[in-house]
């Protein structure tokens, strides 16, 4: 495929990632257009989602496992093996203090400018409702408030939950994935930490709402859901197409809600999705992994030809080892799916990039499959920096020899940070996969810059300078930094 065509295809994919996956995260510092809250038609204004008649009821419910959980090795690092020096303790506590102060500053800003709204707009001091209008920042911060010891603030926030009404929304359409991870996950994690009963009550209220999104002929959810139509009894279909992460990243929250509430229907809902992933995992165009776009409406999990651990796919893979742990190791399919996926990613997605310091690092790239031919597109993404932690966790709980791979992926992100003048990693960028001994070769780098940066001139040095490309980078497609990523170096247990 000609370099110019590959470049346009890559740019097209990046545009799709931004439009489909990240549009709601950009703050243009403009007042947001908020649709008026739409009340659901109900008698006596006492609408309950659990009372909505089911169009396609489940005849046989899948139950949670009841056997004795398996022994799963711990993943936490054991610090008891050595004594912390005074200097180390002072540094650690200073860092803790800085983190806590930064959170307190952000929380006070939210309270002052966007209380009970989804987000604060930090530049204008305004607010935005981008996640249904149910105080997303408040709910998503509950567990952090508890962990950091802000117990008074925590109780004030819990007291405000009565104002959240899931029979109303700021939008006509709900993103089921975002609502699940931010709200349902927020309620459940805060409940697990604090034991405050109101949090579980709220989680069940939301769970009843989200469960209606699964009321389709094949029980696959409508991920971009017109909730008002469903509430008023309109028959609905599963999504015509969706980002694979959106349908594949519901299992933890729904399973935990079944465990805490005793109602198996939530686990049943997500386990049906898991069965589809399991069924088609080895039938995709890159067997072992799932494409970034799937079609729940007709259970098509195989047609798309793009594969990644990054944007639009990330949490699908992240949830596999975590769901295995949540279920006490009693559903082995989560381990099997994870191991098959990572074996494929190691073979096709992970690559060692040419770099000036000859570091032995890895980056997870994008894979396209054309007529059975697998092509690596060596694009790095900030979003995929979670992968080192995921692989580190899985290597511990499954006893896999993958800690070196995990560490190299994290080191790849650290290198990408260190490579820029601001020491901040860009969102998306293009590198050169190593061939042979992987020793730095400036001529090879400049050749690839000239090969890829068509239309910018004939001098690779001038192009690299004009495009501000650090050594080893052939392009930086998105120079922005979106404040939503956290990654950690994986440490082996002592």
The predicted model scores a pTM of 0.88
- Catalytic positions, written as ranges: 427
Encoding tokens for residue 454? 């068509």
Residue 71 has φ and ψ, to the nearest 5°, of: -75, 125
Residues in the chain, overall count: 494
- The vertex-181 CA angle with 179 and 182, nearest 5°, equals 65
What pLDDT was estimated at residue 16? 45
pLDDT values of the chain reduced to their tens digit, one per residue, 494 residues: 444 444 444 444 444 433 444 434 334 333 333 333 444 444 445 789 999 999 999 999 999 999 999 999 999 888 888 889 999 999 999 999 999 999 999 999 999 999 999 999 988 999 999 999 999 999 999 999 999 999 999 999 999 999 999 999 999 999 999 999 999 999 999 999 999 999 999 999 999 999 999 999 999 999 999 999 999 999 999 999 999 999 999 999 999 999 999 999 999 999 999 999 999 999 999 999 999 999 999 999 999 999 999 999 999 999 999 999 999 999 999 999 999 999 999 999 999 999 999 999 999 999 999 999 999 999 999 999 999 999 999 999 999 999 999 999 999 999 999 999 999 999 999 999 999 899 999 999 999 999 887 666 678 899 999 899 999 999 999 998 886 543 333 333 33
Q: Rounded to whole angstroms, how far apart are CA atoms 225 and 218?
A: 16
Place of tokens 């960028």: 429
Say what the alpha-carbon torsion angle 197, 202, 205, 211 is, to the nearest 10 degrees: -100
């Amino acid at each position: 495929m000609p370099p110019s065509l590959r470049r346009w295809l890559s740019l097209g994919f990046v545009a799709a990632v931004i439009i489909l996956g990240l549009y709601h995260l950009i703050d243009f510092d403009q007042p947001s257009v908020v649709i008026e809250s739409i009340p659901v038609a109900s008698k006596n204004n006492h609408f309950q989602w659990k009372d909505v008649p089911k169009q396609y009821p489940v005849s046989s419910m899948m139950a949670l496992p009841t056997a004795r959980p398996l022994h799963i090795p711990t993943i936490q690092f054991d610090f008891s093996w050595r004594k912390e020096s005074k200097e180390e303790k002072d540094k650690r506590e200073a860092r803790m203090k800085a983190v806590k102060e930064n959170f307190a500053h952000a929380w006070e800003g939210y309270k002052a400018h966007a209380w009970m709204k989804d987000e604060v707009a930090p530049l204008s001091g305004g607010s935005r409702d981008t996640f249904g209008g149910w105080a997303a920042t408040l709910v998503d911060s509950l567990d952090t408030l508890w962990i950091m010891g802000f117990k008074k603030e925590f109780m004030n926030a819990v007291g405000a939950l009565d104002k959240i009404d899931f029979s109303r929304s700021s939008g006509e359409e709900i993103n089921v994935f975002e609502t699940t991870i931010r709200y349902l996950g927020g309620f459940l994690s805060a409940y697990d930490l604090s034991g405050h009963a109101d949090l579980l009550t709220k989680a069940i209220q939301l769970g009843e709402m989200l469960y209606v999104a699964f009321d389709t002929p094949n029980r696959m959810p409508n991920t971009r859901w017109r909730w008002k139509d469903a509430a008023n009894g309109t028959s609905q279909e599963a999504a015509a197409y969706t980002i694979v992460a959106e349908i594949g990243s519901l299992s933890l929250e729904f399973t935990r809600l079944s465990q805490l509430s005793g109602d198996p229907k939530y686990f049943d809902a997500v386990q049906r999705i898991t069965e589809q992933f399991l069924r088609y995992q080895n039938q995709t165009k890159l067997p072992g992994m799932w494409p970034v776009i799937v079609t729940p409406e007709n259970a098509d999990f195989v047609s798309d030809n793009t594969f990644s651990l990054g944007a639009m796919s990330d949490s699908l893979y992240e949830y596999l080892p975590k769901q295995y742990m949540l279920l006490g190791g009693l559903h082995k399919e989560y381990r099997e799916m994870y191991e098959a996926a990572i074996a494929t990613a190691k073979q096709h997605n992970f690559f060692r990039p040419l770099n000036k310091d000859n570091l032995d690092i890895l980056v997870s790239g994008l894979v396209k499959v054309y007529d059975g031919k697998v092509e690596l597109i060596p694009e790095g993404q900030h979003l995929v920096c979670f992968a080192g932690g995921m692989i580190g966790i899985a290597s511990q709980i499954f006893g896999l020899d993958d800690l070196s791979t995990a560490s190299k992926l994290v080191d790849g992100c650290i290198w990408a940070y260190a490579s820029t003048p601001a020491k901040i990693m860009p969102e998306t960028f293009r590198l050169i996969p190593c061939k042979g001994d992987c020793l730095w070769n400036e001529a090879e780098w400049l050749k690839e810059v000239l090969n890829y940066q068509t239309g910018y001139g004939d001098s690779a040095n001038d192009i690299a300078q004009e495009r501000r490309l650090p050594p080893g980078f052939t392009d930086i497609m998105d120079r922005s930094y979106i404040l939503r990523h956290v990654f950690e170096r994986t440490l082996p247990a002592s």
